[in-house]
Chains A and B, each alone.
Chain A
């Protein structure tokens, strides 16, 4: 069992490690900039407060904490933007190619000629994303922690670990959204760009709904259930949110498998 997942993740892991190293280097640059920003005397908090409320929410900067602290800085500059938005988009984009890419390039015929269920194909292809997501988290978490120590600052290790741990269900949920698009569309590009757009749209929806009194509207967005800022700045761990994301992921993967089983492979 898991032959498909093993094969698929094996193919993906090199790319994932390259991305992880690039993100780690970028994180180190951010962290290395922190001392000069913190000591520059510029009133970053005042700058943040001068932004429109929606933008403040988008950056996770509610004004309740200072971004001149290392936690606040990491949360706003690194996690809120790169982890929540960019990596969420990456996960959905990657997942968008999982099924549609094989159908489009006639690889699905070769695969389905083997005695395997379509359900298994969908589930295992999705599972192949798990090692990718975990590898990204381990490499970048290690780099951030080492960087913070290197500049003579400190963040609670538990907060950093949980910020990364809870990002796993978040990124998988984003991937599951991409997977749905990947079984619905036969063109890999459409599914991938759809995934990209969907995550960006949901991110905006959650941001806008939070500041526009339409709070319930943002409940469909995975970004609602993962808040690295709360974890890093206030040590608030939203385990329920993590479980909701996992449950949502299971539902979306099951729906994808159901749809793919009924589908004609052109």
Chain B
């Protein structure tokens, strides 16, 4: 069974599109990152899954329960934790009181352990909390009933780097215990750090769903090479070389490479190499291909009926893995 399953999920606010024809499946036990620029529909999708808004069309199940049926979704919510991007709390109560309140509403399996880990100042009134402390309290509330599925909307916003790392480690541990994570993010390093698979959403439509590793492999490596003497750009017009940038005077070339290393090394043997740097493509570049590529083709991508925007697939074809 999938932890989350949506089929043709669509939400219009009047005439404004929230999400359209969103079909995805989050497997049990995986960490699924949901990525997209602001306004792409990430939050709309999450809110539909949690029953805060009802879809215009399509179906969604959460832990096997119909997300559009209140009674069924409540059964699911006993085992779901939700961390909103900007959690709202009553300012005048202490963190301790709020934890007691939520314990009454959804049970408390492990708040003590979580308080040790995240350590929000629970004896103080929430009105005095910093953004980071509010987020820490929200984390305790999210995990205190030991959920099987955790939905997080931009989870590390407001956390300092130390707490971010603590959260990542915590997600790793929870994942080992079998917890499923579905979270939206635009922090690419965090996606790289904790996600198994990512879904990329743009203009309310799902552009691609892929494993993080595959996504990086497909984009290849960034190669920088410096050689003695003058360099003709045409010399690097090899299979698997993209985005070539050559400084002929200095003998520098940099490009994205998706071909075989042996071929590249064979080719380099003809030069006196002074410098060689091969590194993983920054995730930013990978995602920019999805976002920017389509932004550029915006004008000819106006048919709302087509499921997958054209540029995404062409990006894939270009980087044949």
Interface residues of A (CB under 8 A from B): 3-4, 7, 11, 102, 105-118, 261-262, 264-266
Contacts and interface: CB of A to CB of B under 8 A. Distances in A.
A115 B106 contact: yes
Contacts of A7: 97, 101, 104
Contacts of A4: 105
Given A109-B82, A112-B52, A265-B53, 10 more contacts: A3-B101, A106-B86, A107-B89, A110-B87, A111-B105, A113-B84, A115-B105, A116-B74, A262-B54, A264-B13
Contacts, number: 70
Interface string B182-225: 00000000000000000000000000000000000000000000
A116 B106 CA distance: 8
**Residue in B13, B86, B97, B101 with the greatest tally of chain A CB atoms within 10 Å:** B101
B89 A110 contact: yes
B137 to A, nearest CB: 10
B305 to A, nearest CB: 25
A261 B74 CA distance: 13
A247 to B, nearest CB: 27
Interface in B43-96: 47, 50-54, 70-71, 74-75, 77-78, 80-82, 84, 86-90, 92-93
Contacts of A118: 70
B53 A110 contact: no
A125 to B, nearest CB: 12
B52 to A, nearest CB: 4
B4 interface: no
B81 A113 contact: yes
Contacts of B84: 106, 109-110, 113
Contact of A113 (B50, B71, B86): B50
B105 A116 contact: yes
**Residue in A11, A107, A115 with the greatest tally of chain B CB atoms within 10 Å:** A115
B125 to A, nearest CB: 11
B102 interface: yes
A265 B53 CA distance: 6
B138 A110 contact: yes
B52 A107 contact: no
B101 A110 contact: no
B141 interface: yes
A264 B52 contact: yes
Interface string B21-44: 000000000000000000000000
Given A11-B93, A109-B84, A113-B82, A264 B53 contact: yes
A106 B105 contact: no
Contacts of A113: 50, 77, 80-82, 84, 142
A118 B74 CA distance: 10
11 contacts: A7-B104, A107-B89, A109-B50, A109-B88, A110-B138, A112-B51, A113-B80, A114-B102, A115-B75, A115-B78, A264-B53
A118 B78 CA distance: 15
Interface residues of B, number: 33
A52 to B, nearest CB: 45
B141 A110 contact: yes
Interface string B143-169: 000000000000000000000000000
Contacts of B70: 117-118, 261
A106 B90 contact: no
Nearest to B86: A106
A105 B105 contact: no
A108 B82 CA distance: 12
Contacts of A102: 88
A257 B36 CA distance: 35
Contacts of B102: 114
Contacts of B54: 262, 264
The 5 closest A-B CB pairs, nearest first, are A106-B88, A113-B82, A107-B88, A3-B104, A114-B105
A115 B81 CA distance: 10
A152 B101 CA distance: 49
A11 B52 contact: no
B298 to A, nearest CB: 27
Given A265-B47, A265-B52, A106 B93 contact: no
Nearest to B73: A115
B180 to A, nearest CB: 16
A260 to B, nearest CB: 11
B74 A117 contact: yes
A73 B54 CA distance: 55
A3 B86 contact: no
Contacts of A116: 74, 105
Contacts of B105: 3-4, 111, 114-116
A31 B127 CA distance: 40
A114 B13 CA distance: 25
Given A113-B82, A264-B52, A11 B74 contact: no
Contacts of A105: 88
